[in-house]
């Protein structure tokens, strides 16, 4: 089956991130965005659902990752390497840490750009 026969209707998952481990939450979100939980999953199709994650400012990490985990951005210019710790990223915007973790678990192709757009994140409770 090529996946063209069925119209894939989107589902919506709402996930509370409070007191959840960052990596384990990212695995769950990435699988839902890809559609890996569906029996008709095809890896070359965007079959995933819309995912809403709230309370992103209340996620946890194990061990000393808050101080030891680093995020690197390189502008391409000499001296353009910017290094930030997870603690700094969480203070500025906790949604960025989750987005980067989920993106790291997605396929490295054009499909991941389409799938990550289905992820909505909120710092606090949703109304």
Averaged pLDDT, 33-38: 92
Q: Which domains does the chain show, CATH number per domain?
A: 12-61+93-121 (3.90.1180.10)
Rg of the chain over Cα atoms, rounded to whole angstroms, equals: 16
Predicted local confidence at residue 11, as pLDDT: 85
Q: Could you report the per-residue pLDDT of 73-123, keeping only the tens digit for each? A: 999 999 999 999 999 999 999 999 999 999 999 999 999 999 999 999 999
Q: Which of 46, 31, 36 is nearest to 105 (CA)?
A: 31
Quote the mean pLDDT of the chain.
Answer: 91
Helix (H, G, I), strand (E, B) or coil at 27: helix
Spatial separation of the C-alpha atoms in residues 33 and 102, rounded to whole Å? 9
Q: Is the pLDDT of residue 1 over 60?
A: no
Q: Output the pTM of the full model.
A: 0.87
Dihedral of CA atoms 13, 11, 26, 114 in degrees, nearest 10, equals: -140
**Per-residue confidence at 5, pLDDT binned at 50, 70, 90?**
very low
Cβ neighbors of 47 (< 8 A, separation 6 or more) are 3, 8, 34, 35, 38, 40, 41
Spatial separation of the C-alpha atoms in residues 96 and 81, rounded to whole Å? 18
Segment among 1-10, 26-35, 49-58, 105-114 with least mean pLDDT: 1-10
Predicted local confidence at residue 9, as pLDDT: 59
Predicted local confidence at residue 8, as pLDDT: 54
Q: Which two tokens stand for residue 113?
A: 């750009």
**Per-residue confidence at 34, pLDDT binned at 50, 70, 90?**
very high
Q: Which two tokens stand for residue 7?
A: 């119209």
Cβ–Cβ < 8 Å for 32, 70: no
Q: Which two tokens stand for residue 91?
A: 């203070």
């Amino acid at each position: 089956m090529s996946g063209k026969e069925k119209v894939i209707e989107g589902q919506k998952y709402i996930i509370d991130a409070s007191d959840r481990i960052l990596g384990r939450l990212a695995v769950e979100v990435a699988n839902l965005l890809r559609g890996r939980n569906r029996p008709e999953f095809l890896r070359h199709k965007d079959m995933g659902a819309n995912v809403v994650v709230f309370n992103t400012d209340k996620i946890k990490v194990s061990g000393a990752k808050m101080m030891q985990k680093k995020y690197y951005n390189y502008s391409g210019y000499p001296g353009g390497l910017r290094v930030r710790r997870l603690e700094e990223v969480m203070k500025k915007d906790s949604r960025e840490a989750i987005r980067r973790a989920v993106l790291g678990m997605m396929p490295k192709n054009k499909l991941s750009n389409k799938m990550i757009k289905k992820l909505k994140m909120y710092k606090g409770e949703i109304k």
